[in-house]
A and B are shown apart, each in its own frame.
Chain A
Amino acid sequence: MKIPQQPWQQNAFKYGITFLIVVSSIWSASGLEITLERIIDAPRQIGILVGAMFPLDLSDEALDRIIPKVWESLFIAWAGTVIGALFSFPISFLAANNTSTPFISRITKQILNAIRAFPELILAFVFLPITGLGPLTGTLAVGIHSIGTLGKLSSEVVEGIDEGPLEAIKASGGSKLNELTFGVIPQVIPTITSYWLYRFEINLRASAVLGVVGAGGVGAELINQLRFRDFPRAGTVLITTIILVLTVDTISAAIRKRIIQGKINKT
């Protein structure tokens, strides 16, 4: 019996890719001087570090320092998301090719791409001399980066809408503005809101990290405690951050699910 084989071009392509991955991994490992001993030794070292963190430092003094910083991260993430949402919402209509002219759409998309290319941390330390050490810098960095990412995602949502309602509004004599407010926005608002929440989850992680360059938030606390080898306190920072992120993720995921599915059917 003859079993049909895959065409050889496909196989050659597959083996080519596998070969490429293997070779580039070996090249990377040798370039970074990662030896077998270090890999074998790593779990033990990590074990020592984690062991040193427990029992956690839960003294009042530590908590008084850490908890406000954790909240600050939350505020930075939320305010940054609000900035991102407010600015990206109108921009997304300019960037979508069905609500804008081809020329404006292309330019706006390029601008959004350029914004998105800069990581928050790089934005943060460019703003730092202007806006000073503190949460304002972090908020601006997170906010501007969010404009880029939310603008792209939202414009894709706008591009994917059903054109029917727009035609109906046009047919009943509605203006271009009416089309936007009654035709486009009601269709896109659930998905875009869920993207905002999703971005908030990502921004929370980003704002936790921003403290490394002094832009506010809990990151500064972690890097300082690790530098001073105060591991129990570093552990407290880590655990409180995890609790905050987990809580926000859970709540936000539940709301997103609820928004996307619409009204729960009572059966």
Chain B
Amino acid sequence: MIKNIPKKPLPTLLSTIGIPFAIVFSIYSFLQIGFNLEDFRKNLQNRYIVTDPLFNPKWSWAIENASAALVETIQIAILASVVGCFIALPLSFYASRATNKNSFSYFLYKSFLNLVRTIPDLFWAMMFTVAVGLGPFAGVLALIMFSLAIMGKLLSETIDSIDPGPMEAAKATGGSHNQAIFTSALPQVLPNFTAYFLYIFELCIRASVILGLVGAGGVGRIIETQRIFLRFDRISPIVVLILVVVIGIEQFSVWLRRKIL
């Protein structure tokens, strides 16, 4: 027989406080949201307003009216992800401890990237539509901020974990700090950069679909106008078209990523 069975460690402070708090907060949230089974059941009788047209898609209408907007959506995503990622490339080197020894400017760049990341993509879109006018340009600017923030975070964390050896070697042979970064740090993260770029491009395609809801161009504009009139028979084929495009582009980017890495 085993004599000394080790005692189960006491639950940590985090779990003793955290778990009850999480449960209480969950119950409180559900109460605040006002889930009412009675109302829900009553409203469920309205479901035919949605489900009947939703499953009777008008394909010809959607293809005729939405294809141009769908192309616009793809263009917004391409342009925004390319520009956003290439702006983020130098910024990430400033926002990493490994390549920026000046702690003040490191802090500044890091906080800038964090701040950009806190604002949701559609909030950017709303603000840019006010600033530069309705249309796809506002959408492009919004998604540039969106991809800039994600790329900045992912890439600066990758740069944090690079092998410092090559940079030291470059400096030992007389290279300046910038030369060391360019010849030794950049090649190390370039494959990651490409992989992140493809990932962000996928996110941008998804995000650009809904930009039109606030007037920032793309296929969302058509969804929004049909949504107001509850024309779900026109929306559902558009959504299916979007899904086909999104999944197609994802498959392409998965193939490309495998080829590159």
Q: Determine if A121 is an interface residue (Cβ-Cβ < 8 Å).
A: yes
Q: In chain A between 130 and 172, which residues have their CB closer than 8 angstroms to a CB of chain B?
A: 130-132, 134-136, 139
In contact, A209 and B122 (Cβ under 8 angstroms) = yes
Mostly, the B contact residues are helix
Complex Cα spacing A249 to B111, Å: 13
Complex Cα spacing A30 to B12, Å: 59
Among listed A58-66, A72-80, A94-102, A177-185, interface-contacting one: A72-80
Chain B residues near A131 (CB-CB < 8 A): 40, 43
Option from A17, A25, A117, A241 in Cβ contact (under 8 Å) with B243:
A117
Tell me the smallest distance from the CB of A1 to a CB of chain B, in Å.
17
Number of interface residues, chain A, beta carbon within 8 A: 63
Option from A24, A226, A255 in Cβ contact (under 8 Å) with B126:
A226
Chain A residues near B230 (CB-CB < 8 A): 129
Tell me the smallest distance from the CB of B56 to a CB of chain A, in Å.
14
Option from B30, B243, B246 in Cβ contact (under 8 Å) with A79:
B30
In contact, A241 and B119 (Cβ under 8 angstroms) = yes
Complex Cα spacing A27 to B213, Å: 24
In contact, A79 and B123 (Cβ under 8 angstroms) = no
Mostly, the A contact residues are helix
Complex Cα spacing A209 to B210, Å: 11
Chain B residues near A56 (CB-CB < 8 A): none
Chain B residues near A45 (CB-CB < 8 A): 131-132
Complex Cα spacing A93 to B72, Å: 40
In contact, B76 and A242 (Cβ under 8 angstroms) = no
In contact, B78 and A25 (Cβ under 8 angstroms) = yes
Interface residues on B, range: 35 or more
Option from B39, B118, B140 in Cβ contact (under 8 Å) with A246:
B118
Chain B residues near A17 (CB-CB < 8 A): 256, 260
Q: Determine if A67 is an interface residue (Cβ-Cβ < 8 Å).
A: no
Q: Determine if A38 is an interface residue (Cβ-Cβ < 8 Å).
A: yes
Q: Determine if B58 is an interface residue (Cβ-Cβ < 8 Å).
A: no
The contact string, 1 if C-beta is below 8 Å from chain A, for chain B 45-73, is 01101100010000000000000000110
Q: Would you give 11 A-B contacts (Cβ < 8 Å), ordered by A?
A: A31-B75, A32-B76, A33-B137, A34-B140, A122-B209, A130-B50, A205-B118, A206-B120, A223-B214, A238-B119, A245-B119
Give the 6 A-B residue pairs with the shortest CB-CB distance, closest first: A28-B75, A28-B79, A75-B29, A205-B120, A209-B122, A245-B118
